[in-house]
Amino acid sequence: MSSATILKEDESQHFSPYRADGKLYGFVCIVTGATQAIGKAVVHELAGKFSL
């Protein structure tokens, strides 16, 4: 098996946008885009915490 086919846990489809301490990784929305599921979850979470 080549190294290109081996996925790290954080690169799998089960990646969580949350760190071990419960805080969001801020880069997830930028990396995945706000139209994908993880990006939408991050936008939703941040919108609730940083409402004007």
pLDDT digits (tens, 9 = 90+) for 2-49: 444 444 544 555 667 677 887 766 665 565 677 778 777 777 777 776
Please tell me the pTM assigned to this model: 0.34
Domain ranges of the chain: 17-52
Per-residue confidence at 1, pLDDT binned at 50, 70, 90?
A: very low
Q: Which residues contact 42 (CB under 8 A, 6 or more apart)?
A: 17, 24, 28, 29, 32, 34
> Which amino acid appears at position 43 of this protein?
V
The per-residue pLDDT for 18 is 75
pLDDT digits (tens, 9 = 90+) for 15-27: 676 778 877 666 6
